[in-house]
Every structure is written in C-alpha cells, then in structure tokens.
Amino acid sequence: MAGVEGTFGLHLGPLCMVVMDYVDGKDGEVRGLGNRPRDSTRKQVKAAIEKLHASDYVFGDLRPPNVMFSGCEVVLVDFDWAGKHGEAFYPTQLGDGVTKYCEGRDLAVIEKEHDLALFNHYFPPP
C-alpha cells in the first residue's frame, strides 16, 4: 500500500497480519486470574515472555484476557501489538490496563520493560 496516492490517516509502517490457530480454552479473565495466579501459571507466562524477548520481540498487551488456559498449558493470544523490539508501537487510545502499569503511551515504542512491568502487575508472586 506504500506509495498509493490519495491515502490518508496515520501510517506507522508496513501492514502485517498474525494468524494463529484456534485455542480451545478460557482466558485469564474468565478463569478469574485476579491478583493471585498459581505459581505454575506465572512460570509459564514468564517463560513465554522470555522466549519472545530472547528473539528480540515484544508483546505489548500482557493482560489476563490475552492469556489462555488450554488444559494445563498457558498460551498467549492477541499478538496485534507484538513486533520486533524497537519497531513495534502502541496504538492510539490505550486503556488504563496498559498505561496505568507500565510506561506505554499512545503511539510510543513498545519496550521489553513494559512487558515485564505488566507481567509483574498482573502475575505477581503467590
């Protein structure tokens, strides 16, 4: 779409799409994750974030609704903000669920530290 005459609006870079398989399970909000996740849940979420960070990716939206429980397995979903560290940006009109607990702001670069701040808030030690 780059270079198309007459386009309008804010454009932050090339468009891309993430396609995921269907996850049969319940999200962390439905499961009542609350402020006391089990230690095994916390470890699995931490491992998923560490795996992304080791590959130089950020997630950006680590909240209970984006953590699915499928049997005993924890799966991250909703990768629409995720991307390469230093190249992924938050969208506009962020809700308090992100901005209140990390330094993320509208159109700001998503940092690994933001993922960790959200992890520490939503997945505190038991």
Residue 5 pLDDT exceeds 50: no
pLDDT in tens, 58-116: 999 999 999 998 888 999 999 989 999 999 999 988 888 899 999 899 999 999 999 99
pLDDT in tens, 13-55: 666 677 778 889 888 766 655 556 688 889 999 999 999 999 9
Q: For residue 71, what is the DSSP state? A: T
Q: What is the CATH number of the domain that holds 60?
A: 1.10.510.10
pLDDT at 38: 80
For residue 33, give every residue at least 6 positions away whose Cβ sits within 8 Å of its Cβ, in sequence order, or none: 41, 64, 67, 122
Q: Is residue 111 part of a domain?
A: yes
Q: What is the domain count for the chain?
A: 1
Range of the domain at 99: 26-122
Residue 56 pLDDT exceeds 90: yes
Q: Is residue 38 part of a domain?
A: yes
Q: Is residue 54 part of a domain?
A: yes
Question: Residue 77 and residue 73: Cα distance in Å, rounded?
Answer: 13
Q: Is residue 51 part of a domain?
A: yes
